[in-house]
Amino acid sequence: MWFIAGAPATPAQTPAASNHVASALVPSLSVEQNCGCRRSEGGYPCKGGCQKCMMGVDCADNCGAESRWRDMRPIALDNYGPGGYAGPSRYAHLGEYRLRPGDQLQIIYLITRRQETGEYRLAPGDEVLIESVADTDLDRGSLERGLVVQPDGTITVRLVGQVQAKGLTVPQLRKVLEEKYKDLYDEPSIDVTPVKVNTLAEDIRNAVGGASGLQQQALNITVMPDGKIRLPGIGGICVQGFSLGELKREINLRYGELVVGLETEPILSQQAPHFVHVLGQVGQPARVELQGPTTVLGAIAAAGGHLPGANLRQVVVFRRAEDWRLISTMLDLQGAIYGKRPTPADEIWLRDNDVVIVPARPIEVLDNWIDQVFTRGIYGVVPVGLLNNNNN
């Protein structure tokens, strides 16, 4: 049956047929007028009353109440042209991802060689050149290979012995040496020149990417079941529940207490798998991996769909809250399955480790009980006549 744009709708028109006669339910439109289907910017152009304006139901139209098929109106169900777009035009399904055990991270290391505040303080492994104008015999080290700050933080100089250098700036070390040599020289004129500094940052870089510096300066790690990761130089960090921005700040603060000029950039290379468990009256009860946002009906479909004896009015979902207490809900999905409810409020999004149970209908439960008791139970093993004789 064909309908002319602008013609009144007849009672015989069904919702399915209405999709083909959307223009019959709205006033006749010129090319310049809006077709009324609330198309979003960039969508397939509306050029008149005969263009695509599908009929449908929008859950935002009834002030939060569940819609019915009688609420159909023109809607942008075919918003994009052929091949123009392959998915929703808005909304990432998750605003900020929080790390969890099993996530795989890549930590990229960058040596910037800059210090944001204060003066550089010597650390074990650094090298300095010590010279004296008063006596060249006091000179230690050279510009090619300086005097190394030992693991205990000291250096050994002539006539004085060990001097604590760790944690001192270059001017502070020069002043300390001047004071010690004044007992031996009126004017020792000590000069301290840094030859190699920030060696701990180099050691960490070498541990991550190799001494040659030609390999990628990154570390691939997995969040452990206890929610921790381990990094060179700083050890274990509990990262469960961190966003990537929070993780970056935490790692850089930890390294900032040890070295200068070392920055990291964490990247989530792969999420830990997310699963829900679907059991009961479904084709293939199983653990279903969530590879994207998934609703209850989507999980049931992934588990082989519901069986004829499924009680879709009482689908149960078990969930663990943030403190691991058990919460649950019961859903009525029968109207959605049978096409009676266009925007079912019970069609909720699932989260990791949810358990979905599709129970049997009450008549199926009764049939199973009769089968177990009378067919395979005592009445199936002992002849009825024998039971009657015993009763007599």
Residue 121 falls within a domain, yes or no?
A: no
Residue pair 100/223 in contact (Cβ under 8 Å)? The answer is yes
Same domain membership, residue 239 and residue 108? yes
Same domain membership, residue 289 and residue 345? yes
Same domain membership, residue 315 and residue 294? yes
Same domain membership, residue 193 and residue 205? no
Residue 366 falls within a domain, yes or no?
A: no
- Token readout for 210 is 């190799």
pLDDT at 250: 94
Same domain membership, residue 45 and residue 2? yes
Same domain membership, residue 204 and residue 230? yes
Same domain membership, residue 189 and residue 326? no
Tally the domains of the chain.
4
What are the residues whose beta carbons fall under 8 Å from the beta carbon of 321, sequence distance 6 or more? 327
Residue 231 falls within a domain, yes or no?
A: yes
pLDDT tens string for the chain (392 positions)? 333 333 344 444 444 444 444 444 444 444 444 555 555 555 545 555 555 566 778 877 777 788 888 888 887 665 555 555 455 555 555 668 889 999 999 998 887 766 666 788 888 888 999 998 888 888 888 888 889 999 898 999 988 889 999 889 999 999 999 888 888 888 888 899 988 887 777 777 777 765 444 445 788 999 999 999 999 888 899 999 999 999 999 999 998 888 877 888 999 999 899 999 999 999 999 999 988 888 999 999 999 999 998 999 999 999 988 788 888 899 999 999 998 988 888 898 898 899 999 999 876 666 666 666 556 555 555 555 544 555 55
- Token readout for 13 is 């028109």
Same domain membership, residue 226 and residue 111? yes
pLDDT at 116: 66
Residue 82 falls within a domain, yes or no?
A: yes
Same domain membership, residue 320 and residue 290? yes
Torsion of CA 17, 18, 24, 30, to 10 degrees: -110
Residue 377 falls within a domain, yes or no?
A: no
CATH number, domain of 226, equals 3.30.1950.10
Residue 372 falls within a domain, yes or no?
A: no
CA angle 239, 242, 245 (to 5 degrees): 115
Residue 153 falls within a domain, yes or no?
A: yes
Residue pair 35/54 in contact (Cβ under 8 Å)? The answer is no
From 225, 243, 270, the end of a domain falls on 270
Same domain membership, residue 312 and residue 207? no
Domain span at 222: 104-115+200-270
Same domain membership, residue 213 and residue 161? no
Torsion over CA: 89, 94, 100, 105 (sign)? positive
- Token readout for 72 is 């159909």
CA–CA distances in Å: residue 192 to residues 125, 158, 174: 16, 14, 6
Residue 382 falls within a domain, yes or no?
A: no
CATH number, domain of 354, equals 3.10.560.10
Same domain membership, residue 283 and residue 327? yes
